[in-house]
Amino acid sequence: MQVAADIHAKVTNVLVKVLVVDKDQVTPTTVVQRDLGADSLDLLEIMFHLEQEFGIEIPPGELFPGSMLWIGAELVQDGKLTDKGLAELRSRLPYADLSSFEGDRRLSAVPDLFTVGLVGAYVGWKLDRSAGSDKQPCPASSDCSGRQPTANRNDSPQCTG
């Protein structure tokens, strides 16, 4: 399996190429849409280039779920995700550490979850799955060095290095 630094470097190169941004703008906490200006067509192109770069298949809606998640009043009320909505988001983003999102469940904040770190965590998760690993994915807030995440939560995935 590729190490986290290699994954981050390749993800960065894809984002620089597709979005025509400077490499120094791309950090693990950079939000792909807000900070780098990616639109929906850019997201499709990013997925295509990630597939090519890493030899993985990215099914529609797996990396960037899109609006299909928000249909139904049982998922969103008063502009915030309900418990069921948060559970749905977790099921759609099993590679993501959503602990920071639990307190602020604003639907408008969901696009800010998609950071460069989250994209790297997704790629690591896909590579682990394709290798037949049953390990948990590294949270996007982690460097995936094998150290435990700083928040000691029972429902947070552990790093697998």
Say if CB 19 and CB 42 are below 8 A apart. yes
Cα Rg, the chain, nearest whole Å: 15
The whole-angstrom separation of Cα 156 and Cα 96 is: 9
Distance set, CA 113 to CA 30, 44, 146 (Å): 10, 17, 22
- Catalytic residue annotation: 39
Say if CB 3 and CB 143 are below 8 A apart. no
Extended beta strands in 31-155, E state: 76-77, 80-81
The whole-angstrom separation of Cα 10 and Cα 36 is: 16
Cα angle 121-123-126, degrees, rounded to a multiple of 5: 110
In this structure, how many other beta carbons lie within 10 angstroms of the beta carbon of residue 134?
7
